[in-house]
Amino acid sequence: MQDYTLEVHGCHSYDCTGAITEPIYLSATFRHPAFGQSTGYDYGRVANPTRAALEKTMAELERGGRAWALSSGMAAINLVMQLFSAGDHVLMSEDLYGGTVRLAGEIYSRYGIEFEYVDTTDLTLTAAKIRPSTRAIFIETPSNPMMLISDIRSLAALAHDHGALLVVDNTFLSPHFQKPLTLGADMVVHSGTKYLCGHNDVIAGFLVMAKGREDIAGQVELLVKSEGPNLSPMDAWLMLRSLKTLGLRVEKQGENALALARWLQQQPQVTEVFYPGLPEHPGHELHKSQATGFGGMVSFKVQTPELAKAVLGRLQLIAFAESLGGVESLLTYPIAQTHAEMPKELIRRTGLDDRLLRLSVGIEAVEDLQEDLRQALEG
């Protein structure tokens, strides 16, 4: 089935009423038909029919074997971290969402897991960092916020040659544009709060496991059952509703983003534009070989830090806010928001600075977005 169809219909099966939308099962517990029998649902933390419908849909969309719908993107990344043990070494892209770096550095490092940051756009450099204890390579592509592109196929092959896993945070593109599991990755994580939700009204996350990885799926299942990081049935239903328009939303966001990236390049106050859809982006060709769209995220640098802050204050239509992926356009100041707690050394290596703004392009008329940015840049 094609993505647009899967997004609308998901894994919906009609119940006896013929309901077109998935029912919301709020029941925390389920009656057993008799001793030793189950309907497949016993207790809400372990399984819930509304959440199960969403999980099956996400597994299909990512072409994975199994998916878990979770209470946030961080809950999904947290499950990945819990697959490692003391003495394990994990390689991470050096340009990553700040919350992932905080979780690794401030929580899991305490348990003896070693995290090392590397420029994963450079395969030779990444290969040189592999050790016998390397258990995984964790990447974002495009990365947050510098929009760097890493080669999913080659990194998967590299990880597998050393008995390690490749984990891809696919938040920036969604499975509509990129399916890392079909390129060799073992696991995909998402902040479902972003494009998958698309309306800035649900905090959610997903972990999707590649087909044939029942060994690790069993470990994740044990963690989910034991710890209860699942998504509530109400939020699962909202996510199912959001997924129905995923393709339409992200296509329009991508169209708007490309137009704005080209326009930003021509503005005298803008010194650099980072968007993989621009032919001059160093990862443009690689990105085209592994994704079907460029996404709705555009980062750019302005002449001075003062101008960056002034732009945030002058916006009329676009909101100065954290987060991304919704139908409303948002502008973020990564150095003070999403990446405020990043180690200084990493910030310096990636080129993220106080002149960088990150635009999450919505589905508004592009002319209105352009006009708002124009007046904010000109002052």
Ligand X SMILES: Cc1ncc(COP(=O)(O)O)c(C=O)c1O
Radius of gyration of the chain (CA): 21
Cis peptide before 145 (omega within 30 of 0): yes
Regarding 178 and contact with ligand X (CB under 6 A), the answer is no
Say whether 15 is catalytic. Answer: no
Distance CA 150, CA 140 (A): 8
Question: For ligand X, which stretch binds (CB under 6 A), given 15-23, 71-79, 107-115, 275-283?
Answer: 71-79
Say whether 344 is catalytic. Answer: no
Which is closer to ligand X, CB of 173 or CB of 377?
Answer: 173
- In three-state form (DSSP H/G/I as H, E/B as E, the rest C), the secondary structure along 13-66 is CCCCCCCCCCCCCCCCECCCCCCCCCCCCCECCCCCHHHHHHHHHHHHHCCCCE
Which two tokens mark 221? Answer: 């299942």
Which is closer to ligand X, CB of 28 or CB of 340?
Answer: 340
Residue 151: Cβ within 10 Å count: 22
Which of 30, 68, 84, 97 binds ligand X (CB under 6 A)? It is 97
Which of 48, 50, 57, 72 binds ligand X (CB under 6 A)? It is 72
CB of 87 to ligand X, least distance (A): 26
Measured CA to CA in angstroms, residue 177 lies from 11, 198, 246, 247, 281 at distances of 20, 15, 10, 9, 18
Of residues 201-220, which lie at the interface with ligand X (CB under 6 A)? 203, 205
Residue 63: Cβ within 10 Å count: 16
The site that binds ligand X (CB under 6 A) totals a number of residues, namely 14
Which of 54, 58, 67, 74 binds ligand X (CB under 6 A)? It is 74
Which two tokens mark 260? Answer: 């704005």
Distance CA 270, CA 304 (A): 9
Which of 191, 200, 290, 299 binds ligand X (CB under 6 A)? It is 191
Which of 62, 95, 140, 186 binds ligand X (CB under 6 A)? It is 140
Say whether 275 is catalytic. Answer: no
- Single out the catalytic residue among 97, 108, 195, 275: 97
Which residues contribute to the site for ligand X (CB under 6 A)?
72-74, 97, 99, 140, 144, 169, 171, 191, 193, 203, 205, 338
Catalytically active residues are 45, 97, 169, 194
